[in-house]
Each structure stands twice: as C-alpha cells, then as structure tokens.
C-alpha cells in the first residue's frame, strides 16, 4: 500500500517529468520567441567577446599587486568601473561592484541604517517596489526601523502628495524603483529628488530595469544611491553595482560583509573580473544604443498592444501609455486564468510578473496596488521586448495570444469573478 505522501511525491515527480519532457519537446522541435527580457536578457556577443580573455589567459586576481597578472586584472576592473559610471553620470570612484541589484539594494538600505545611528531609523518606500526592497524593509522593520509605504495611482505613479506628507516626519532614506519591473511605470525622479532634498532625506533608486533603457544622470536628479544589475542589460549574471555619492559630505555606508577590504571595504571578496568586464562592456554598448533602441522597442511595444487590442475584447493595459519602459507591456485578459494562458503559450516565453515571485500563487502586489482585483491580477501577462526582438515575432506572439485567449475563454478557463476590465486606458 502506498501512503498519501508517497502518492503526492509520485504525482509531483510525474508533473516535473512531464514538464521537462514538454520543455525538451518544445526546444527541439520549434523556436520559442523570448519576450521575458525583464527576467533576464541574453548575453550580447560583444560582451562575451570582451569577457573571454579574463576567463582564460587573463586570469589574475585584481587584488594581486605584485605582478603583471594582477595589474592587468585591476586595470580591466577600473576601465569597467568608468564605463558603468559614464552611463549614469557618476565618477568611477563612486561605483561599488556587487553580485547584482538585490545585493546592492540590501547594501544601500541596511548599510545606510547602520551608518547613520545619529539619525532616526526611518525609511519611506512605495507599495510597488521589487521584493528585494520590500523584503529588506521587512527585515529592517523587524530590527526596529520604521518603514512607511507610500501609495501609487492607477498607473503606478507614486503619489507625490503622500510622499511629501510622509517626509514631514524626519526620514533617513527614501527608496524608489525607477522603472517598474512589472508594469513599466517610470517615476519622476526629479520631483522625488526635490522632495527628498527639501526634507533632508537621502534617495536610493532601484534602476535594475531602467539602466541603459532610458537616460539617467545621478547628479542632475539628486540621487544618493543607485542599484544596478548586469544581466538586465545584456551582460552576465552574478554581477551588479551600487552607486554611492561622494562629495562633501558624501554618503556614509557600512558594509554587510567583512573580509579582504575590496571595494573600499564596502564589499569585500575577490572581484569577479570577467563579470565586471562584461558589465562594463554592456554599459558601454547601452550608452551607444540607448536612443535608437528605445525608439525601436517602444514602436514594437505599441504595435503589440495595438494587435492585442484589435484581436481580443475585454483586455486592460496595466501601467501608463507614456512614461513607461520602452520594452514593457503588461496586459490583463478578462475571463482567462493567467497561468493557463502561459502554459498554453509554449512557443512564446512570457511571464505573469517578477521572475523572483513567479513560483508564488499570490496575485502580483504591484497589480493589486494599482487597483486590480485578485482575479484580474491573476489574468495578466508581462511582455518584455529586447535587443533582438523583431516585428515578425511581435505579430506572431500577438496572434498566438489571441488564439489561446479565445480557446481558453471558450473552455471556461478563468478565475471566478474575473470580470471584464472597467478601464483599458
């Protein structure tokens, strides 16, 4: 006799096996159109070419100061540091390399609270931040830090009047996502920065999604800290950076780790030279291509929305029509369960939201924050276009989505209460 637990395990194994077989069948027999560039981007061949020497013959440790291998590695790191800095209008010495945006965000938020013991431990952030920020704030809250969440409007723009009101109480730090990773809303950082300066609060910006896709100048916008990640920018995974404003006075920061003293003691550990070189090259390419890529991708994004809106009734655009990431589209489909739709689109790689939350069954906190019902939030897809997305792929993807939505609606595959959207703007 097989126990209930054993039966459940066997069923799970069968599902996993079926999923693996399905993935193999799809990858072997047909091309899958990749429209999930918010989750990660493919490595640009030019980035790989720049990295390869540091994965082979140029293997030195950038901290080795006694021989040419270490000197050349350090030189490559410093060149990359300048490339990253130039993309955001910073100085090279203000760039601290990390393992990615999640580490950068944690270093910024926790490092600030540790460094400014002489000021109130109070952080203001928004309801639509990435989980890296919200979970870090939850942790700080459990340690006695006061965390205030400011709301957003129906397009995902932070309510500046609420932010101004929140800043009437002495605040150490404001943390805000620039380009939202789900609905693409681009916040008015200039207005946010002015409110922060007026209140004497530091400003941290999560730029993981917006870096290289829309112009950013940390000095012009009054940004004190800015988190970045290479793999959202056609660079390698496992490397990112934190901009830390210098000056008189500069931003004080305490490290999360302690060790060899690398990165001015803020992020100890042997530097990932190949990854850092790749990040620098990715930033350099982004600086060259930012205007033409933004124009091309926003045109393809608008085409995708136009095709979906024409072919499918009862859909809703989530986020603003303007002031959004050029490669982002988020759409809700009434009377369709999003997970079923994603599973049906085996030849189009899309997601229902953040890759960091895709294993969870809860509806997107971002979509809920802009006013969607749980059912409609569950019925949403995020499309992320990229450097090599084509017009042909967009037209094919729109047709496939329309086909599957029609099929699923006919079969009744929708969440109870998943009514037609009242607002498609």
Query: So which residues are the catalytic ones?
Result: 356
Cβ partners under 8 Å of residue 403, min gap 6: none
Burial class (CB in 10 A: 0-12, 13-18, 19+), 419: middle
CB atoms within 10 A of CB 132: 24
d(CA 313, CA 34): 25
Exposure letters 150-170 (e unless 16+ CB within 10 A, then b): bebeebbbbebebbeebbeee
How long, in residues, is the chain? 425
Q: What is the SS3 assignment for 234?
A: coil
Q: In what order do the strands lie in the sheet with 202-206?
A: 95-98, 240-244, 225-229, 202-206, 173-177, 122-126, 146-150
Q: Where in 232-389 does DSSP place strands (E)?
A: 240-244, 315-317, 328-333, 348-349, 380-384
Our CA angle for 244, 249, 255, nearest 5°, is: 40
Which tokens hold the place of 227? Answer: 């988190």
d(CA 281, CA 30): 32
Our CA angle for 373, 370, 240, nearest 5°, is: 120
Q: Which of 133, 152, 130 is nearest to 371 (CA)?
A: 152
Residue 348, φ and ψ in degrees, nearest 5: -135, 115
């Amino acid at each position: 006799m097989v126990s209930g637990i054993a039966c459940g395990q066997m069923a799970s194994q069968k599902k996993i096996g079926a999923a693996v077989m399905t993935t193999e069948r799809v990858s072997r027999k047909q091309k899958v159109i990749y429209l999930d560039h918010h989750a990660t981007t493919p490595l640009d061949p030019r980035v790989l070419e720049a990295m390869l020497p540091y994965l082979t013959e140029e293997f030195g440790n950038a901290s080795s100061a006694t021989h040419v291998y270490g000197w050349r590695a350090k030189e490559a790191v410093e060149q990359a540091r300048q490339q990253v800095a130039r993309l955001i209008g910073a100085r090279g010495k203000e760039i601290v390399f990390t393992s990615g945006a999640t580490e950068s965000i944690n270093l910024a938020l926790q490092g600030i609270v540790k460094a400014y013991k002489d000021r109130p431990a109070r952080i203001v952030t928004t309801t639509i931040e990435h989980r890296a920020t919200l979970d870090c704030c939850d942790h700080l809250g459990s340690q006695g830090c006061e965390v205030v969440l400011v709301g957003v409007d129906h397009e995902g723009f932070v309510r500046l009047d609420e932010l101004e009101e929140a800043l009437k109480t002495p605040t150490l730090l404001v943390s805000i996502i620039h380009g939202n990773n789900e609905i693409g809303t681009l916040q008015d950082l200039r207005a946010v920065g002015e409110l922060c300066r007026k209140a004497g609060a530091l400003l941290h910006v999560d730029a993981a999604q917006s870096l290289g896709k829309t112009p950013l100048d940390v000095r012009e916008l009054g940004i004190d800290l800015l988190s970045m990640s290479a793999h959202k920018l056609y660079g390698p995974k496992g490397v990112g950076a934190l901009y830390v404003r210098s000056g008189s006075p500069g931003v004080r920061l305490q490290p999360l780790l302690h060790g060899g003293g690398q990165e001015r003691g803020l992020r100890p550990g042997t530097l990932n030279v190949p990854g850092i070189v790749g990040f620098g090259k990715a930033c350099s390419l982004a600086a060259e291509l930012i205007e033409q890529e933004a124009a091309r991708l926003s045109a393809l994004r608008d085409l995708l929305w136009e095709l979906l809106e024409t072919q499918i009734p009862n859909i809703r655009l989530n986020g603003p029509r303007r002031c959004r990431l050029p490669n982002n589209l988020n759409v809700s489909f009434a009377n369709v369960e999003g997970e079923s739709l994603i599973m049906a689109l085996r030849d189009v790689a899309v997601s229902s939201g953040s890759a960091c939350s895709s294993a969870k069954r809860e509806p997107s906190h971002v979509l809920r924050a802009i006013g969607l019902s749980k059912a409609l939030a569950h019925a949403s897809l995020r499309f992320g276009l990229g450097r090599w997305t084509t017009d042909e792929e967009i037209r094919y993807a729109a047709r496939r989505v329309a086909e599957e939505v029609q099929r699923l609606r006919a079969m009744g595959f929708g969440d109870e209460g998943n009514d037609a959207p009242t607002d498609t703007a």
